[in-house]
Copies of this chain bind each other. A is one copy, B any other.
Amino acid sequence: MSIAGKRARSDMKQVAAHAGVSTMTVSRALRSPNKVAADTLKRIEQAIEALGYVPDLVASSLASKRSHIIAVVVPTVSSSIFDDSVQGIADRIGSEGYQLIMGESRYSAEREEALTMALLGRRPDGLVLTGTTHAPRLRDRLKEAGLPVVETWELTDDPIDGVVGFSNFDAGYAMTAKLLGWGYRRIAFVGGSQEPRTAARRAGYEACLTDRDIAGAPVTAFSEGLSLRAAATTFESLMDQNPELDAVFLSSDSLAASALFACQRRGWPVPDRVALAGLGDFEIAAELVPALTTVRVPRYDIGRQAADMILARLNGSATTSQTLDLGYEVVRRDSA
């Protein structure tokens, strides 16, 4: 029914005719109302209201070469990890009249490249990428593309353009050091292996153990697929095979929560039987019983600052992108 179309959408020409001015004046009324006489402006506004005119941003983008769109690539949309960053971006750009176009890389560099190129077809004014590991060809193309690009959630010596994040290596190292400081000695690490960020956390964990020359090799287990069920299973078999473990560091709070529930099912007291630590400081971390010891990372601010960096470039108030290290913070609660 509705696809058949009712009365045709009205365009700027109709608004102009209705208000007795030229389209140029309507355009000005929309973009820079202060350059239009007050009464003219009022007539135009009435015409817009009367006709239910909605400016065609597609035509506007084509003519002005400004789309007012920011493209965002995340590994997955259904993951509380990146949601907050997207929220940060949305909050920052929404007030400036920008809109968000999104795509999912599904943790594949190949898909990321294809998707990003497709998004570039919309001629976004800026691009936010997750991570700093990308297909080399994509990096090259983005460097040539001439639009502000911000990589997030990691730091790197060789950015495409701007970077906003923190050191996942350091975060992994710091939590491990804290656990050692609190007296734990047999510490395992659990996390996926696909994500470069998790790999960096693991590397930090291993480096810390090596530095402190802790007896016994690092114990690591992989929990792919990110499902809570898989995480619980992984944790349980890890504990079965290494009953001497006194602490487990999981690469995200979701995994840690899952491990905690596994302990509860077994009747294991946490942290007495085994201490648990996560990463992220998700909202649930403070609510869990015992509350979760974790590494707080600036999820929301990563998005906000990334958007800010892009807008600064677009407004001309910054000519060069930068690297912004937002840091992290170990938060000790009761689980370790």
Contacts and interface: CB of A to CB of B under 8 A. Distances in A.
Contacts of A69: 101
A215 interface: no
Contact of A146 (B6, B84, B100, B103): B6
Interface in A84-120: 84, 86-87, 90, 94, 97, 99-104, 117-120
Interface size class of A (residues with CB under 8 A): 35 or more
Interface string A191-230: 0000000000000000000000000000000000001110
B283 A3 contact: no
A142 to B, nearest CB: 8
Nearest to A232: B287
B122 A99 contact: yes
Contact of A99 (B3, B118, B143, B288): B118
A141 B84 CA distance: 32
A258 B288 CA distance: 8
Contacts of A36: none
B90 A104 contact: yes
A51 to B, nearest CB: 11
A88 to B, nearest CB: 9
A62 B57 CA distance: 10
A59 interface: yes
Interface string A118-131: 11111100000000
A122 B123 CA distance: 13
Interface in A42-85: 52, 54-59, 61-62, 67, 69, 76-80, 83-84
A117 B149 CA distance: 28
Interface of A: 1-7, 9, 52, 54-59, 61-62, 67, 69, 76-80, 83-84, 86-87, 90, 94, 97, 99-104, 117-123, 141-149, 161, 227-229, 232, 257-258, 261, 264-265, 283-284, 286-289, 313-314, 319-321
Given A3-B146, A102-B102, A265-B289, 8 more contacts: A2-B142, A2-B146, A2-B148, A2-B161, A58-B58, A78-B83, A228-B287, A229-B287
